[in-house]
Structure 1
Amino acid sequence: ALQHVADVRQVFGNKFAPKDVMIGETGWPSEGRQRETALPSRVNEAKFIRGFVAMAEKEGWHYNLIEAFDQPWKRGSEGAVGGYWGLFDADRQDKGVLAGPVTNVPYWKEWLGLGGLIFLGTLLLGGRVRSTQSALILPLLGAVAACSIGAWGDLARVTTRFASEWLWVGLLTLLNLSVLVHAALTLSARQGWRERAFNWLERRAGWLVAVAGFAAAVMMLEMVFDARYRSFASMAFILPALVYVCRPVSVPRREIALLTFIIGAGIAPQLYEEGLLNQQAWGWALVSGLMVAALWRCLRVRKG
């Protein structure tokens, strides 16, 4: 990116010499979805800005950095990436872009606390487990849920713009928590209230799969046909996909077959549109493939 700026500045400098040329806007976003090989992050923003300033001062260029402060309201028209080009955040707090230490996870303490609660809650929910194998799987389940739900919450903080999107975030979070409870109780010895809660969720497990498949299909259609200002919601589907690929349940067959087809058919087109060097697109493709496998396995389960 720095070399590209230097090349463009050189072209214009030669074309309009001896007039001075001012670089009106240059910068790098700290949040948002990846575009080809360009990855928004605080560390990458700091690398670009510090490198550019050093280069510009050495060459004697006049320039304007975009921008002083994050403007989250721009997410409404530009997606998440549009709101986070500032050297300072929207609360006027230094992001560490120009100098000093910088981190891609500024809210790590909050997410560590939330993840710890999810992990401990999973262990308490499972209680006494059914077998040695379950004793090994239960903490792993809690760790995966803590990471995926926490990362989904962090993505929602950055990308969510409207009330309808907050509702979508809330529903997907509720889905993940329901799947987590179902999975934890599956591993439990199940007595008393745990047995009753498990039976209630087990009768409705097919609908949990259907909701997860429907949400994944909607996201896949959006990523294929209207992806420019949307972020990859991979973290919202890791837990449901893993749980039901390992323990498939009976599902409504026609509906799940259609959702399986939509998700599977969208993997190649979205990768083609994003480019094979986009790691976030590959992450979404892998999670989508895992979801397809989970839905396919559920289709093969016969009632009773």
Structure 2
Amino acid sequence: MLIGETGWPSEGRQRETALPSRVNEAKFIRGFVALAEHNGWHYNLIEAFDQPWKRASEGAVGGYWGLFDADRQDKGILAGPVSNLPYWPLWLGVGGLILLGTLVLGGRPRDHRAALLLPLLGAVAACSIGTWGELARATSRFAGEWCWAALLLGLNLLVLAHAALALSPRQGWRLEAFNALEKRAGWLLTAAGFAAAVMMLELVFDPRYRSFPSAALLLPALVYLCRPVRVPRREIALLTFIVGAGIAPQLYQEGLANQQAWGWALVSLLMVAALWRNLRARRA
């Protein structure tokens, strides 16, 4: 008996219950090899090396089926320890810098409530921005997608700065910086809502090779859900409708067993709630 090819991707978007990851790839390959050897089957494993160029036509999943990565380094698929986050030291360092930067930017908290919220804000920002960075590293295929990822990173950093300064004593340069961001906060939320609407439309009408960008919009949704700002009414109303209307079709297409789809649906609900609350606050 000859099995022409079999394998499992280590990166990319989930389909129903099939979740790409290095750990899952190792589980599948090791289990299959043991079964094949026990039964005397002949087989070919796909593939020897990751081929990220395949992402251009097959999405993130298509580029990461290898037993070795694109630099010919062992991914630990056949034997030994394996991690779903091979660059974890990098992202741990980035997360630590984001948390430290949040605390420094906020300075001495205004009150006990701010003292609790400021480190929580930094932790959420570190996790979401780090997760978005890792997703962008694995999925970005050409200059346009890298620019989109960078713009969303910049948006998250501006939202983080606005939220941290809102919890600060607001004195001296912190007051000036807060006032500058406060005047533009409505457009920061509008930009986040626009990004959510664009990605929701993509996941409803052209989802096959697109990953779920939940981490990119978690921070703006939470910040402006908790702290409403003045927003342009017509734009926010339209974005609220687009994002909200896409949640059910997106879940229906992906299936209720898809955890990543549920994560995106939850972030989308938070974004809709934030947009709606800010719209109502504007009316009030």
Question: What SS does the aligned partner of 2:5 have?
Answer: strand
Question: 1:261 — aligned with what?
Answer: 241
Decide whether the 8 Å contact of 1:27 with 1:49 is kept in 2: yes
What is the number of residues matched between the two proteins? 284
**2:113 & 2:235 partners in 1: Cα distance?**
34
Question: What SS does the aligned partner of 1:302 have?
Answer: helix
2:29 aligned with 1:49, yes or no? yes
Question: 1:131 — aligned with what?
Answer: 111
**2:283 & 2:8 partners in 1: Cα distance?**
53
Question: 1:275 — aligned with what?
Answer: 255
2:162 aligned with 1:163, yes or no? no
Question: 1:202 — aligned with what?
Answer: 182
**1:153 & 1:93 partners in 2: Cα distance?**
22
**1:207 & 1:89 partners in 2: Cα distance?**
41
**2:274 & 2:262 partners in 1: Cα distance?**
18
Structure 1 gap segments, 5+ residues each: 1-20
Question: 2:172 — aligned with what?
Answer: 192
Decide whether the 8 Å contact of 1:250 with 1:303 is kept in 2: no
**1:272 & 1:303 partners in 2: Cα distance?**
34
Decide whether the 8 Å contact of 1:49 with 1:97 is kept in 2: yes
**For the aligned residues, what is the CA RMSD?**
0.9
Task: Please report how far the alpha carbon of residue 62 of structure 1 lies from its aligned counterpart in structure 2 after TM superposition.
Answer: 1.0
| Alignment TM-score, normalising by the size of structure 1 | 0.92
What is the 5 A alignment of 1:202-281? 202-281=182-261
**1:209 & 1:117 partners in 2: Cα distance?**
24
2:11 aligned with 1:31, yes or no? yes
| Larger gyration radius, structure 1 or structure 2 | 1
Per-residue CA deviation, residues 80-134 of structure 1 (Å, 9 max, x unaligned), is: 0000000000000000000011111111110000000000000000001111100
**2:243 & 2:91 partners in 1: Cα distance?**
30
2:254 aligned with 1:292, yes or no? no
**1:163 & 1:223 partners in 2: Cα distance?**
20
Decide whether the 8 Å contact of 2:233 with 2:282 is kept in 1: no
**1:100 & 1:210 partners in 2: Cα distance?**
47
**1:270 & 1:89 partners in 2: Cα distance?**
32
Task: Please report how far the alpha carbon of residue 289 of structure 1 lies from its aligned counterpart in structure 2 after TM superposition.
Answer: 0.1
Question: 1:143 — aligned with what?
Answer: 123
Question: What SS does the aligned partner of 2:104 have?
Answer: helix
**1:104 & 1:50 partners in 2: Cα distance?**
16
**1:144 & 1:212 partners in 2: Cα distance?**
17
Task: Please report how far the alpha carbon of residue 302 of structure 1 lies from its aligned counterpart in structure 2 after TM superposition.
Answer: 2.9
Question: What SS does the aligned partner of 2:3 have?
Answer: strand
| Alignment TM-score, normalising by the size of structure 2 | 0.99
Task: Please report how far the alpha carbon of residue 284 of structure 1 lies from its aligned counterpart in structure 2 after TM superposition.
Answer: 0.2
**2:83 & 2:97 partners in 1: Cα distance?**
23
Task: Please report how far the alpha carbon of residue 68 of structure 1 lies from its aligned counterpart in structure 2 after TM superposition.
Answer: 0.3
Task: Please report how far the alpha carbon of residue 23 of structure 1 lies from its aligned counterpart in structure 2 after TM superposition.
Answer: 1.2
Post-superposition, which runs of at least 4 consecutive aligned residues in structure 1 deviate over 4 A? Answer: none
Amino acid at match of 2:124: V
Question: 1:64 — aligned with what?
Answer: 44
Question: What SS does the aligned partner of 2:20 have?
Answer: coil
Question: 1:119 — aligned with what?
Answer: 99
Task: Please report how far the alpha carbon of residue 303 of structure 1 lies from its aligned counterpart in structure 2 after TM superposition.
Answer: 7.7
